[in-house]
Structure 1
């Protein structure tokens, strides 16, 4: 029996030269039950022409962001959601890849699960210059749980994460969590996936598939390179803090770690005036002793106790 339709959403901007590498990983999927929505954020490099061979396959759908819509990846992902026809959502950045069995494995994994069950998998890096591929076999985020907040706790306590194309999201869960915040130019993924975690009822992890994050390229730009990005980063964490507090998780370690980490980075930069402007936010930073304790246990790979620690 054919799997339910999966909507793969790819925002892109001037990635015409490397986007085919990403699209090829979609085309090679062992499952044929997918649509791929490529949402162009106003590229000027002839992206549509450079991917023309893929557009011959009707499963690839090219959408130009209307000029009336706000520029940005968050908007493009929302446009993808608005046009998606699938039962599951698979996000994918325009320079990353998914294993050829990801759609099949994750569809099968969630076939008999709740429509609020989230799926994850292994992840790794593809090094552009050396062509080397490294898939991480042991990470503190590799586990299944009936308490999704345990995974969010690990993000904060162990300074860990999962790239956005790791997740496989039922459309019902996506609808309940809501759309991407288009007012965030940075940290929009953290804010969005916090809402996903707060609304899902289970996380199922599998080692049978993986995703790759492109590394070793100048294409990626530092998310703290200018004042606007930093302001958005802070706003994102303030919203995350609000979401968590409303749902009964005040002073969550994820927020405290982020505040402390950013505080350390900003106090030596020209943007240190933001420390005063957002003083209440930075008051959430964890104590140095707590930070060092968690760092030690992280190196020791004693992860499980910290899955439940969220205060």
Structure 2
């Protein structure tokens, strides 16, 4: 029987100083049937020189996007998906590290369960990666099922799904791709969309992904209130709400979550746009407008009560 193959799709831009460690973590996988497609997004550093020794292993492929693709990681991921030849897909950032047992463990789950994806846990590190983190790796077989019933937990980040913490069965993706116009929160929108079409998977209680934190990341820029990143988060929220409304998956608590979220995006007019795409009746719309207008007062009272309790 032919061994299944994983397509690792790695967008990169000016990561010459970090990408070697990432590629080494791919090379060190105990599961050997993979291809690693490195899609360069017009890097201006010496990325190609750094990865050249890795290309001696034919499983590594270096490419750039043809004309007609937008700049950015999402378009690079989509192009990598189009040219991939594996049975499974793993989107991997060019500055992160994965545990050597990642692929072996996850692929085994696909053979014992009828699932479309396998999610695992992540942790973060700063500066240089310490191999001792692998020694702290905790192995057990605890897992839980993820389907449309968990979509609310995915949306409110109670069940976070990160780009690099999931391996997908390629045929299950059904041609769905990242929104290449989103410059932040693209995984939030994309994975919610995939779950909404009926994909099912498991989450295993194993730390396999070690995500590098540094000032050059989108998350750092969002936390620093970069207008581009904040606007992208708003656009991603609108796309999620519209998709769930179309699929009749927009329940009360999800509506409430997005209405509350929009309070932090006042200058971006998020609330009015959210209400417009929710497909509400006239009276329901009026109720949410009232809820939104009294929300600041309710939050103020809630904080005041918490202070009183502390005293």
Q: Under a length normalisation based on structure 2, what TM-score does the superposition of the two structures give?
A: 0.78
For 1:95 and 1:255, how far apart are their aligned partners in 2? Answer: 35
- CA distance change for structure 1 residues 242 and 143 in 2, over 3 Å: closer, same or farther? farther
For 2:165 and 2:106, how far apart are their aligned partners in 1? Answer: 10
Decide whether the 8 Å contact of 2:143 with 2:205 is kept in 1: no
Decide whether the 8 Å contact of 1:124 with 1:213 is kept in 2: yes
For 1:19 and 1:50, how far apart are their aligned partners in 2? Answer: 8
Structure 1 residues 141-220: aligned runs within 5 Å: 143-145=143-145, 148-157=147-156, 159-176=158-175, 178-208=176-206, 210-215=208-213, 217-220=214-217
For 1:154 and 1:136, how far apart are their aligned partners in 2? Answer: 26
2:50 equivalent to 1:65: no
The C-alpha deviation readout for 1:150-198, integer Å capped at 9, x for no partner, is 432223456451321111100111225x111112222221111112212
Alpha-carbon RMSD across the aligned residues, in angstroms, is: 3.2
- CA distance change for structure 1 residues 100 and 151 in 2, over 3 Å: closer, same or farther? farther
The C-alpha deviation readout for 1:243-262, integer Å capped at 9, x for no partner, is 11222211464564355345
For 1:213 and 1:259, how far apart are their aligned partners in 2? Answer: 31
Larger-Rg structure: 2
SS in structure 2 at match of 1:111: helix
Superposed displacement of residue 202, structure 1: 2.6
- CA distance change for structure 1 residues 170 and 252 in 2, over 3 Å: closer, same or farther? farther
2:275 equivalent to 1:280: yes
For 2:97 and 2:259, how far apart are their aligned partners in 1? Answer: 31
Count of aligned pairs between the two proteins:
279
Superposed displacement of residue 226, structure 1: 3.6
Q: Under a length normalisation based on structure 1, what TM-score does the superposition of the two structures give?
A: 0.78
Superposed displacement of residue 129, structure 1: 5.7
For 2:118 and 2:43, how far apart are their aligned partners in 1? Answer: 32
Superposed displacement of residue 263, structure 1: 2.6
For 1:23 and 1:9, how far apart are their aligned partners in 2? Answer: 12
Which structure 2 segments of 5+ residues have no match?
279-287, 307-311
Superposed displacement of residue 79, structure 1: 0.6
Question: Residue 127 of structure 1 corresponds to which residue in structure 2?
Answer: 126
For 1:43 and 1:252, how far apart are their aligned partners in 2? Answer: 45
Structure 1 residues 258-277: aligned runs within 5 Å: 260-261=260-261, 263-264=263-264, 266-267=265-266, 272=267, 274-275=269-270
Decide whether the 8 Å contact of 1:156 with 1:255 is kept in 2: no
- CA distance change for structure 1 residues 255 and 97 in 2, over 3 Å: closer, same or farther? farther
Superposed displacement of residue 44, structure 1: 0.4
Which structure 1 segments of 5+ residues have no match?
297-311
Superposed displacement of residue 13, structure 1: 0.5
For 1:57 and 1:50, how far apart are their aligned partners in 2? Answer: 14
For 1:48 and 1:94, how far apart are their aligned partners in 2? Answer: 13
Question: Residue 257 of structure 2 corresponds to which residue in structure 1?
Answer: 257
